Structure 1
Amino acid sequence: YDVVALQELWVYHDFCVIRDRAKEGGLIYSKWFHSAALGAGLAILSRYPIIESHFYAYALNGHALHFIEGDFFVGKAVGSCLLDVPLVGQVEVFSTHLYAPHDVPAPEWKRAHRTAQAWELGKLAKASAERGRTVFVCGDLNSVPSSLPITILQAHGQLRDSWQSSHPTNLSCITNNEASYRNAIKEEGITCDSLINTFTASKNAANRGAKGFGKRLDYILFRPAAKRITQRDKHGRCQTEFIDDQVINCDDCHVTLTDPIPVFGYSYSDHFALQATFTIYPNSMESILENQLNHDSSSTSTSTKLNLNHTSPPPTLTTEHLNNSLSALMTKYRSSERSSSFQLCLFGICLVLVPGISIAASFQPLSFLNWIFTLLSVLIGGFGMTMLYTGFLGGNWERSSIKEVCEEMQFELERLRKTDQRKDLFDQRKDLFDERNCGVGNGNSNGNSIGNGNGILNK
């Protein structure tokens, strides 16, 4: 491998063992990301030199009271390494692990933290590509491909899915046997909750995805480096946009490490690994590729032809996506308000009970009752302080982060609405112009002369 991105690597000693063994295979550069109280469990191993590294903690990261889930204490985040790759330039690789609880079919607002994290991650990937860097996002995103967080991440960051770029979306076998589960891994990219994984084999069918074969939760997303172009429109106003400066072909993507560890007999992890191979061409190769495709095959040597998959463009960010995200976040905001109010009420009750129990303890004739009352007041006092911490500090922290993400989405929503309004106005004027010139008021012109902005991959 050239680059390996790891998640849930919680213990630094384990990272040291993996790092030392990876050096034997040529991955001589590595980075382990430190985070929060218990660590985010993120690491990157690379064959190429690491120029710099960055770490971004997500603003919304679970709840402090949900200590069993642990997202708040490990500090879910994204770590990135900037690599110096010969003939390609700067490549930024992101490794991340998104908010885990509440999968489909839970209400969308319960996954609001994950949607906000996807928005932040997409923003980071977009900024990196616009700085002229080739971007790869790897990680456990805890979301199925059709979910809102994945749509927001791909649309906002203009990221393509390596699996979708190299595989048809069909499931050939539907019978419940081991061969079918293996076909699901091969055809659908199932990485989690598979029956052949020893860590998840005991899960019931309801937790194995819509088809019962497992879920695709792990991704390798990519985006070519972008370059800025500035041009004037017909009104003389400067228009700036970014276009792809590279062509990235996903040659292969498949799930690996699916068999149990030899001798031990259990799986490597509760998630299978995902592997992808890419070929990166400069933007100038596009004309060469088109000439090769249009040229007569009899006069062109097959050994000189380049095999480029027609990678579908990433989804376009729409007002519907943003409205759905804002609706989920605001519902989560109101839920947070109710939770904080309830927790602060519990703190108030504890504030009354603690001195009352302490006073009552001094009037007990039996000494052992005195000790019981004292212990009870200590426990109630600790519970009350926890409610104050989670209700006031945790609640305000969560709601402030939600408001910040909502405001960012509102700005983007307004920009999209203005763009749609200008496009509608242009279409109306074009229809009116066609009617005046043609004398036929059929209004069939739909303004298809407007470019779709999908870049050079959209032939």
Structure 2
Amino acid sequence: MTVVRDHAGLIDTWGSIHAPSAEESRKSMSPEDALSTYGLTYDSSLNSFCTRGTTIPQGKRLDYILFRNPWHPTASPLPLRLILKDARVVLTEYIPGRSFSYSDHFGVDALFEIEGSKPPDPGFPNPALIDHTDVPTLPSTALTTKAKSHLSAANALPMLDALKTRLRLSRARSRQELRIHAGCVVALVGLLVGTGWSPKGFLTPVFVFVGALASWLGTTMFYVGMMYGGWEASILQNLIEEMELYVRALQDSS
């Protein structure tokens, strides 16, 4: 989530309203207090769909409301901007008349106030024909500026390590799937030979069934390991190379 916020220049509504609390104090909190303090929306013991009981921690924060004000390069015309007033976790109670929650996730509710000039009324004269010399201007602090869209090296490096780990796991999985495919091919050859030399004819249907199963499994593993695995590895490799160039540029500029 830090990568998403930094790269897109977004603001987390909950994090902006609620000051971060120490994780150590979370262990001694009740599920209700932890929910309102940390904005936990998933895997809370207050949710009927939670199956892990009341163990610590009391849930996870997986649901966010992110926003970004529009960018106005000039002070005229007067811009609009969002002022965050409140953010809270909602739908924590059970459905009325039922013994279960609305969903396995709680909801997040954010209240905004729109600040700035209002759009002209349809019945109002053409704004281009109105003298604006007496119209007050908003102070500079009320003008929105372009959100900073920048992924720092401190966040880019862990992301790069995670991508490299994912690439290694993807290639290892593809090799395993191709080994299963090769094993199925060997098994099919053995079944073909065994069917012709089997002294007992009643084993032939068994060989046919096992052969069909091996054909299906081998074909599936070939497509998953060769085609999907190669495509996934190529995408990850390209992303890693772009991230390495980005990190190198950050390090050179620092």
Q: Say which of 272, 293, 307 aligns to 2:106.
A: 272
CA drift at 1:277 = 1.2
TM-score, scaled to structure 2: 0.78
User: Which residue of the partner structure matches residue 217 of structure 1?
Assistant: 62
Q: Say which of 23, 27, 43 aligns to 1:193.
A: 43
- Is the 1:194–1:215 contact (alpha carbons within 8 Å) kept by the matching residues of 2? yes
CA distance in 2, matches of 1:337, 1:222: 37
1:254 matches 2:107: no
User: Which residue of the partner structure matches residue 154 of structure 1?
Assistant: 5
Per-residue deviation, residues 7-42 of structure 1 (Å, max 9, x unmatched): xxxxxxxxxxxxxxxxxxxxxxxxxxxxxxxxxxxx
Which amino acid is 1:198 matched to? Answer: S
CA distance in 2, matches of 1:404, 1:376: 41
Residues 326-405 of structure 1: pairs in structure 2 closer than 5 A: 326-405=160-239
CA distance in 1, matches of 2:26, 2:169: 42
- RMSD of equivalent CA atoms: 2.8
> Which structure's relative contact order is higher, taking Cα pairs within 8 Å and 6+ residues apart?
2
CA distance in 1, matches of 2:15, 2:202: 69
Residues 5-84 of structure 1: pairs in structure 2 closer than 5 A: none
Cα separation, partners in 2 of 1:289 and 1:380, compared to 1, 3 Å: closer
* Structure 2: unaligned runs, 5 residues or longer: 118-136
CA drift at 1:373 = 1.1
Q: Say which of 265, 287, 291 aligns to 2:140.
A: 287
CA distance in 1, matches of 2:166, 2:91: 38
CA distance in 2, matches of 1:173, 1:399: 40
TM-score, scaled to structure 1: 0.45
Identity of aligned residues (%): 32
Residues 131-146 of structure 1: pairs in structure 2 closer than 5 A: none
Cα separation, partners in 2 of 1:350 and 1:247, compared to 1, 3 Å: same
Per-residue deviation, residues 234-266 of structure 1 (Å, max 9, x unmatched): xxxxxxxxxxx7543211111111101111210
Q: What secondary structure is seen at the aligned counterpart in 1 of 2:52? A: coil
Which amino acid is 2:46 matched to? Answer: I
Q: What secondary structure is seen at the aligned counterpart in 1 of 2:151? A: coil
CA distance in 2, matches of 1:185, 1:317: 29
- Is the 1:251–1:279 contact (alpha carbons within 8 Å) kept by the matching residues of 2? yes
- Is the 1:226–1:246 contact (alpha carbons within 8 Å) kept by the matching residues of 2? no
Residues 407-418 of structure 1: pairs in structure 2 closer than 5 A: 407-418=241-252
Q: What secondary structure is seen at the aligned counterpart in 2 of 1:276? A: strand
Greater Rg, structure 1 or structure 2?
Answer: 2
- Is the 1:151–1:315 contact (alpha carbons within 8 Å) kept by the matching residues of 2? no
CA drift at 1:383 = 1.2
CA distance in 1, matches of 2:16, 2:40: 16
- Is the 2:35–2:41 contact (alpha carbons within 8 Å) kept by the matching residues of 1? yes
Q: What secondary structure is seen at the aligned counterpart in 2 of 1:401? A: helix
CA distance in 2, matches of 1:218, 1:191: 6
- Is the 2:160–2:243 contact (alpha carbons within 8 Å) kept by the matching residues of 1? yes
Which amino acid is 2:33 matched to? Answer: N
Which amino acid is 1:199 matched to? Answer: F
CA drift at 1:399 = 0.8
- Is the 2:27–2:57 contact (alpha carbons within 8 Å) kept by the matching residues of 1? no
CA distance in 2, matches of 1:349, 1:343: 10
CA distance in 2, matches of 1:256, 1:378: 52
User: Which residue of the partner structure matches residue 183 of structure 1?
Assistant: 33
Cα separation, partners in 2 of 1:399 and 1:155, compared to 1, 3 Å: same
User: Which residue of the partner structure matches residue 52 of structure 2?
Assistant: 203
* Structure 1: unaligned runs, 5 residues or longer: 1-149, 230-244, 291-312, 421-459
Greater fraction strand: 1
1:320 matches 2:154: yes
Aligned residues: 226
Per-residue deviation, residues 78-119 of structure 1 (Å, max 9, x unmatched): xxxxxxxxxxxxxxxxxxxxxxxxxxxxxxxxxxxxxxxxxx
CA drift at 1:366 = 3.0
Residues 414-425 of structure 1: pairs in structure 2 closer than 5 A: 414-420=248-254
Per-residue deviation, residues 399-454 of structure 1 (Å, max 9, x unmatched): 1111232233234324423432xxxxxxxxxxxxxxxxxxxxxxxxxxxxxxxxxx
Per-residue deviation, residues 156-195 of structure 1 (Å, max 9, x unmatched): 111110001111223777546xxx2112111211101111
